[in-house]
Amino acid sequence: MQQVDVITLGAGGGAYPAAFRLARAGRQVLMVDPKGVMSGNCLAEGCVPSKAVREYAELSRQASRFGLGRSTEIDLAHIMTHKDRVQRTRYTQHAAELEKLSAKLSLIQGRARFQDANTVVVENDSGTKSYRAEHIIIATGADIFVPPIPGAEHCMTSRDLFALNPTMQSLPRRLIIIGGGYIGLETASILHALGSEVTLLEQQQQLLPGIDPDFVAGLTPLLDPTIRMITGAEVASIEPTTAAVLKVSFRTTEGDEVLAADAVLMAAGRHPVIPEGLEALGVQVERGRIMVDSTLRTSVPHIYACGDVNGRVPLFHAAVGQSLTAARNILGGDRAPMDYFDFNSVPTTIFTLPAAAYVGRTRAALQAMGREAIEAAYVFAEDSRAQIYDEPDGELRLFFEPGSLRLMGGWVLGIDAGQLIGQIGLAVSKGLTARDLAAFCDQHPMASEGISKAARRLF
């Protein structure tokens, strides 16, 4: 049985940053991943490829608005080629980085299960092999959740759109998306912009369930109104009919409805992938998530769980930050941690067209805690850059603690949301104040001016 210092289950965002850091610290590290490549679902079928497609839609939208011409027909296959190229470039770069540290770090393809608290059994085409390690990082991520709806097997998933050489190479004329979480909503927005006729069905009464309702209420009117979005929709079945047409039956409070589509995308959510054998070790799991504290340790101190598998902030960049925290705590000695992850200041961007983003504690979270806030907003209707880009809708909103004026949270609805949330998020993370934001001279004419302008309203 091979002995290493650290094993990571997975090689995605929750795993490889720790693996690299530990290898650089001289530890012998083994990553085990079913895909056999780094970056997990994010690069394989998630954020990176979806954004590669999204930016086509975004540019096309902007170019069209600027009268810069737009091919009457956008060729999805052309976009997919570009997307595949980005993915391949990154895989190549990752392989080169891995190679540089090969004396200390290796990645093997395979499915891992726990034999005991320090032993992992890996199965792959070459057979079954056991590895022993002093520390283990579980970073097995999450997988697509397919609800038990009759006919669900006829649906596509994000994998069919965003994996390398994806199944979908031409736009469906009519697309139904089941699920109005961020994946469903982003895909609705992107494919609609590229030319599909999109209907989105969300079971709950609110799009983007779990997110601040006022944020969602602010985002919704910014989206193209010709996307049909139905909330409170309970899907009953998906049935194939002749000639590649699917019929989706669903019920709302207004009655039953049946819609036909050329494709149905199942985007009903994701669930953590719990490695086999874990339950026997006494690692605490609740509602399908591995419990961790801000040190990323599980209830078994030498076992860590980073990224989607702990269900705290299921975003790639959160996983990366957690992974580095876990690495430092392994270096510090499990029972003497020396790094802590702040789950509260991770920015989230909904990459619709336009995008929207938030960070920290916004109105709903503060109200739930019984805390007051001084709100300061800036509407893009008065923003130079938004006017230049002809995107005057939306706003930027900041939530300050009364007295200290510490920034507790913020959101951006509309132009440059994904960029602006960085500056706002850093300020939340460091507890900067309205005064700090007001004192800084944001570059003119960029939308970030809205940050200082909002803050300056308090002075």
Reported residue count of the chain is 459
Which positions from 438 to 457 touch its own copies by CB under 8 A, shown as an x/- string? -xxxxxxxxxxx-x----x-
Answer yes or no whether residue 317 interacts with its own copies by CB under 8 A: yes
Residue 10 marked in a binding site = no
Total number of residues that touch its own copies (CB under 8 A): 104
Residue 197 marked in a binding site = no
Name the minimum Å distance from CB 24 to its own copies.
4
Q: Which of residues 268-297 bind its own copies (CB under 8 A)?
A: 293-294
Nearer residue to its own copies within complex by CB, 260 or 439: 439
Nearer residue to its own copies within complex by CB, 212 or 416: 416
Stretch that binds its own copies, among 140-148, 207-215, 254-262, 402-410 (CB under 8 A): 402-410
Name the minimum Å distance from CB 212 to its own copies.
17
Name the minimum Å distance from CB 387 to its own copies.
5
Residue 269 marked in a binding site = yes
Q: How far is CA 73 from CA 20, 70, 80, 301, in A?
A: 44, 8, 15, 56
Name the minimum Å distance from CB 180 to its own copies.
21
DSSP secondary structure code for residue 433 in this structure: B
Answer yes or no whether residue 342 interacts with its own copies by CB under 8 A: yes
Catalytic residue flag (residue 302): no
Answer yes or no whether residue 16 interacts with its own copies by CB under 8 A: no
Name the minimum Å distance from CB 86 to its own copies.
5
- Give me 340's structure tokens: 């802590």
Q: How far is CA 402 from CA 77, 371, 424, 426, 439, in A?
A: 53, 9, 18, 20, 18
Query: Residue 235's beta-bridge partner residues?
Result: 250
Q: How far is CA 345 from the centre of its chain?
A: 15
Cα 158 from Cα 342, distance rounded (Å): 29
Q: How far is CA 147 from CA 192, 249, 268, 362, in A?
A: 24, 15, 7, 31
Burial of 77 (0-12, 13-18, 19+ CB in 10 A): exposed
Q: Which of residues 38-57 bind its own copies (CB under 8 A)?
A: 42, 47-48, 51-52, 55-56
Cβ contacts of 323 within 8 Å, gap of 6 or more: 13, 14, 15, 16, 17, 18, 137, 139, 306, 307
Answer yes or no whether residue 208 interacts with its own copies by CB under 8 A: no
Nearer residue to its own copies within complex by CB, 316 or 399: 316
Q: H or E element: which one contains 395?
A: strand 394-400
Q: Which residues define the annotated binding site for NAD(+)?
A: 179-186, 202, 269
Question: Which residues belong to the active site?
Answer: 444
Q: Which residues define the annotated binding site for FAD?
A: 51, 308
